[in-house]
Chains A and B, each alone.
Chain A
Amino acid sequence: GAVVSQHPSWVICKSGTSVKIECRSLDFQATTMFWYRQFPKQSLMLMATSNEGSKATYEQGVEKDKFLINHASLTLSTLTVTSAHPEDSSFYICSAPPGGGYNEQFFGPGTRLTVL
């Protein structure tokens, strides 16, 4: 099946630093990727839709200047958490639909961010 990777799998950083998370589709091209966030004991919440070659679409309440998304190629989307603060500590997961009429989408293994 299709594989999506994420890097890093976990990161601990100091408050105020920026953290970049990469999401790669390994064996298919993804014109669209999705970024989700999950706080402890909460649901996965869609943050934004990453579109190859164009601007990302952000969900209501998600600050686009804080969560920068770049989808520079058909296999890579990056999420940068700028000036991270402890309240940004969460589990960030990307997903990508392989398309071609395939209903399913594939998730990366997630990145656990802890901001001290």
Chain B
Amino acid sequence: RKEVEQDPGPFNVPEGATVAFNCTYSNSASQSFFWYRQDCRKEPKLLMSVYSSGNEDGRFTAQLNRASQYISLLIRDSKLSDSATYLCAVTTSGYALNFGKGTSLLVTP
């Protein structure tokens, strides 16, 4: 069983829609949690770190549920430019990241 699992999608949503991604992790010792965005053939870019208290950055909200070992990302008012693959990542010890396979989002006009 993979350590970090995501629904690969694709999620096709119209502009302005709200879309939610979930991610589960299997190692209860995981310490840090992140959402990355990856555009085609590019390196991943950090979207946001995820904290137990939840955190929001503009249209993006991330939540962490340690008891259930899942992480979520909510995107409100989707823009065309949000089309990308969203990667969930966790660290267990040190800085090495364990990535999910990614969820593909396509926002259409």
On A, residues with C-beta under 8 Å from B are 32, 34, 36, 42-46, 49, 91, 93, 95, 97, 103-105, 107-110, 112
> Are the CB atoms of B95 and A91 closer together than 8 Å?
no
> Are the CB atoms of B97 and A32 closer together than 8 Å?
no
Which 5 pairs from chain A and chain B are nearest by CB? A107-B43, A97-B95, A43-B101, A44-B99, A43-B99
> Are the CB atoms of A34 and B96 closer together than 8 Å?
yes
Residues of A within 8 A of B87 (CB): 43-44
Please give me the residue from chain B that is nearest to A46 by CB atom: B96
**Given A43-B87, A103-B49, also A110-B97 (CB < 8 A):** no
> Are the CB atoms of B41 and A44 closer together than 8 Å?
no
A28 and B94 alpha carbons, distance in the complex (Å): 18
> Are the CB atoms of A34 and B43 closer together than 8 Å?
no
> Are the CB atoms of B41 and A112 closer together than 8 Å?
yes
Set B49, B98, B102: member contacting A104, Cβ < 8 A: B49
A29 and B4 alpha carbons, distance in the complex (Å): 30
Interface size on B, residues (CB 8 A): 19
Pick 6 A–B contacts, CB within 8 A, sort by A: A43-B102, A45-B99, A95-B97, A109-B42, A110-B41, A112-B41
A8 and B40 alpha carbons, distance in the complex (Å): 18
A93 and B96 alpha carbons, distance in the complex (Å): 13
> Are the CB atoms of A34 and B41 closer together than 8 Å?
no
Shortest distance in angstroms between B98's beta carbon and chain A's nearest beta carbon? 7
> Are the CB atoms of A105 and B32 closer together than 8 Å?
no
Residues of B within 8 A of A109 (CB): 42-43
A91 and B94 alpha carbons, distance in the complex (Å): 23
B46 at the interface (CB under 8 A from A): yes
B54 at the interface (CB under 8 A from A): no
> Are the CB atoms of A43 and B46 closer together than 8 Å?
no
A32 and B99 alpha carbons, distance in the complex (Å): 19
> Are the CB atoms of B97 and A105 closer together than 8 Å?
yes
Residues of A within 8 A of B95 (CB): 32, 34, 97, 105
Interface residues of B in 90-106 (CB under 8 A from A): 94-102
Residues of B within 8 A of A42 (CB): 101
A97 and B44 alpha carbons, distance in the complex (Å): 14
